Amino acid sequence: MRYLIVRTDVREPAGSSQPRDERRRPETRRQVASAADRDAAMHLARALASCGAVRSGRQRVKVIRLGF
């Protein structure tokens, strides 16, 4: 199974009544990596999460499963 690891900028919510819609307005990507299995994906995600911007809350790391 393939995984995509993405580091993105955190954006301010448009309004409290509107939920965030990643399909229409995705967050800006800063870095993208891929992994063949879950353990490798989590290892890469931890490495990307050590960035200062992620630790301070300005960016976030997402792990996305691409297949079943």
pLDDT in the model for residue 68: 65
How far is C-alpha 28 from the chain's CA centre?
10
Closest C-alpha among 20, 2, 8 to residue 49 = 8
Cβ-contact 34, 2 below 8 angstroms: yes
Cβ-contact 41, 5 below 8 angstroms: yes
| pTM, two decimal places | 0.80
Per-residue pLDDT tens digits for 12-57:
766 666 677 778 888 899 999 999 999 999 999 999 999 999 999 9
pLDDT in the model for residue 17: 66
